[in-house]
Amino acid sequence: MIDFIRRSGRSGLDFCAAVGRASIFLLRAIVGLSLSGKGLKLLARQIYRVGVLSLIIIIVSGLFIGMVLGLQGYSILVDYGSEQAVGQMVALTLVRELGPVVTALLFAGRAGSALTAEIGLMKATEQLSSMEMMGVDPLKRVIAPRFWAGFISMPILAAIFSMVGIFGGMLISVDWLGVYDGAFWSNMQKAVEFNNDVINGMIKAVVFGWVCTWIAVFQGYDLVPTSEGISAATTKTVVYSSLSVLGLDFLLTAVMFGGI
Amino acid sequence: MYQRSMELVVGVFILLGALAMVFLALQVSGLSLDSQRATYKVYAQFDDLGGLNVRGRVSLAGVTIGRVNNVSLDKESYSALVELEIYTEVDNLSTDSVASIQTSGLLGDKYIAISVGADEEYLADGDTIFDTQSALNLEKLIGAFASGQADF
């Protein structure tokens, strides 16, 4: 019994310490970005690796999710003779929910795990400590550009995802199933409001990008520097990111659309 | 050379994101750049709004000429006071115009339809439309019909 209390106390303290470390780490990473020429080059390189290389998976899955939404929406709505509403259904679903959420899940799997593994390997091979030896702050040189790259890339990827998804929905419902395209677009434009739907979706994407990158970079920086540690940290990154994205999505939706 | 082409790709990526945002704004949400059109305010009192919402359409002959800006209760007459914003280019609505609440389609949104009267004087900012018709309440209608009190 005593042993149980001792162990739970220890893990509670460990958890608090990890949250504290992660917060200090986040703060130093945010302010650590240098906007000089060299810093911007590093940032561009990370945006390339985190954002541009994720583009293919985002575009392909956006296209298919939009097409599935078009198909499902049509088959449900055609029963009520209101298949013109498929445009507003596809657009609202993508812009409000699926765009930010699915992008964040894919982003965590595609870019987050890579960030964790890369930083973890740097730590395991003592590249980070040798940087410190040379008087280079690894938080500024390695972490800050990666953090900001994820933070910048995520909303862009979510916007592209929604755009491609709506295009995919149009492809199916208008070109294949024969919904009148004027009604498709005008219903969509009537239903989607820029301030409420598009901006709120982008706010979600920004929050998710922040959380996913924070978890990925911190897990890499804080892992046990062994091969097992790297694999455990990579798994943790994907699991924690996915769970916090889905949980946060509920909270944000409740605040934005729940009318609280 | 490698660095340069990579910067190019990153630039294209950012521009693609901007393009997607513009697409979402203009094509998907139909945000028109002239949404801040000049308007003047006109008031109208209704017995029953029947689900008319703020930001509802005000239309004349089917063309949108303004929107519902505010809905409140007039405590003295126990009726609903609706504040309408009409575009200033539509400045020739006669003072005896009729405002009626109608439904677009069978289950669509409620909107206010204006039909113009014959008066020579025109509504100005702050004026009130006196001649109004409330929303057609489908349930009341069915109730009246079912109890045999229908008078139409």
Cα gap B46→B48, rounded to integer Å: 6
Find, in chain B, the residue whose alpha carbon is nearest to that of A90: B28
**Which residues on adjacent β-strands are paired with residue B127?**
B42
CA dihedral B67, B71, B77, B78 (to 10 degrees): 130
Asked if A159 reaches chain B (Cβ–Cβ under 8 Å), the answer is yes
Contact B65, B86 (CB under 8 A): yes
CB atoms within 10 A of CB A122: 19
Are A93 and A71 within 8 A, CB to CB?
no
Residue A64 has pLDDT above 80, yes or no: yes
pLDDT tens sequence across B68-124: 888 888 888 888 888 888 888 888 888 888 888 888 766 667 888 888 888 888 888
- Bridge-based pairing of strands B131-133 and B39-46 is unpaired
B21 vs B19: CA distance, rounded Å: 5
Domain ranges of chain A: 33-257
**Is B148 among the domain residues?**
no
A194 close contact with B: CB closer than 8 A: yes
- A43, pLDDT greater than 70: yes
Nearest-by-CA chain A residue for B15: A156
Q: How confident is the model at residue B152 (pLDDT cuts 50, 70, 90)?
A: low
Name the nearest CA neighbour of B30 among A155, A251, A72, A87. Answer: A87
* Contact between A25 and A137 (Cβ < 8 Å): no
d(CA B92, CA B110): 24
B78: in domain: yes
For residue B149, is it within any domain?
no
Chain A CB within 8 Å of residue B27 CB: yes
Phi, psi angle pair for B70, to nearest 5°: -155, 145
For residue A125, the one-letter residue type is: T
B102 and B75 housed in the same domain: yes
B86 and B28 co-located in one domain: no
Would B111 be classed as within a structural domain? yes
Q: Which of A237, A236, A212, A199 is nearest to A101 (CA)?
A: A212
pLDDT band with cut points at 50, 70 and 90 for residue A166: very high
Q: Which tokens sit at B7?
A: 């910067």
Please report which confidence band the pLDDT of residue A116 belongs to, taking 50, 70 and 90 as the band edges.
very high
Lowest mean pLDDT among A34-48, A83-97, A232-246, B32-46: B32-46
Question: Which pLDDT does position A69 carry in this prediction?
Answer: 93
Q: Mean pLDDT over residues A216-226, rounded?
A: 90
Name the β-bridge partners of B82: B44, B71
Cross-chain residue pair B24–A193, CB shorter than 8 Å: no
Contact B17 A157 (CB under 8 A): yes
As a whole number of angstroms, the distance between CA A230 and CA A116 comes to: 8
Q: Would you call A64 an interface residue with chain B, using a CB distance cutoff of 8 Å?
A: no
A43-46 long-range contacts (CB < 8 A, ≥24 apart) are A43/A145, A43/A148, A43/A149, A44/B6, A44/B7, A44/B10, A45/A145, A45/B3, A45/B6, A46/A145, A46/A146, A46/A148, A46/A149
For residue B149, the model assigns a pLDDT of 65
Return the structure tokens found at A6. 């001792």
| CB of A169 less than 8 A from some CB of B | no
The model's confidence at residue B49, banded by pLDDT at 50, 70 and 90, is confident
Mean residue pLDDT across chain A: 89
- Please say if the pLDDT value at position A15 is more than 60: yes
What is the reported pLDDT for A259? 63
Residue B115 lies in a domain: yes
List the single residue in A55, A162, A190 with the smallest CB-CB distance to B24. A162
Shared domain check, B95 and B22: no
Give domain status of residue B67, yes or no. Answer: yes
Q: What is the pLDDT of residue B32?
A: 64
pLDDT tier, A211 (very low <50, low <70, confident <90, very high otherwise): very high
Helix (H, G, I), strand (E, B) or coil at B31: coil
pLDDT tens readout for residues B3-25: 678 888 888 888 898 898 888 88
Same domain, yes or no, for B15 and B83? no
For A92-104, letters b (16+ CB in 10 Å) and e give bbbbbebbbbbbb
**Judgement on whether residues B52 and B127 belong to the same structural domain of the protein:** yes
* Nearest-by-Cβ selection for B21 from A48, A159, A197: A159
Shared domain for B98 and B66, answered yes or no, is: yes
Q: How far is A151 from chain B (nearest CA, A)?
A: 13
Which pLDDT belongs to residue B2? 62
Task: Look up the domain containing B5 and give its range.
Answer: 1-33
Kindly list the residues from chain A whose CB atom is less than 8 angstroms away from the CB atom of residue B24. 95, 159, 162-163, 198
The answer to whether the complex's ipTM is over 0.85 is no
For the cut 70, the answer to whether the pLDDT of residue B36 exceeds it is no
Q: What is the pLDDT of residue B24?
A: 84
Residues of A in contact with B21 (CB under 8 A): 159, 198, 202
Which of A45, A55, A166 is facing B13, going by the closest CB pair?
A55
A contacts of B27 (beta carbons < 8 Å): 185, 189
pLDDT of residue A132: 87
CB atoms within 10 A of CB A178: 10
pTM comes to 0.76
Question: Total structural domains in chain B?
Answer: 2
Rounded Cα–Cα distance for residues B100 and B47 (Å)? 11
pLDDT score of B150 more than 70: no
Residue A29's pLDDT band (boundaries 50, 70, 90)? confident
Contact (CB, 8 A) for B10 and A49: no
Dihedral (CA of B84, B88, B93, B95) sign? positive
Report pLDDT digits (tens) over A183-209. 888 888 888 888 888 899 999 999 999
Q: Based on the domain organization, do B129 and B59 belong to the same domain?
A: yes
**Average of per-residue pLDDT across A212-232:** 91
Cβ atoms within 10 Å of B149's Cβ, excluding its own: 8
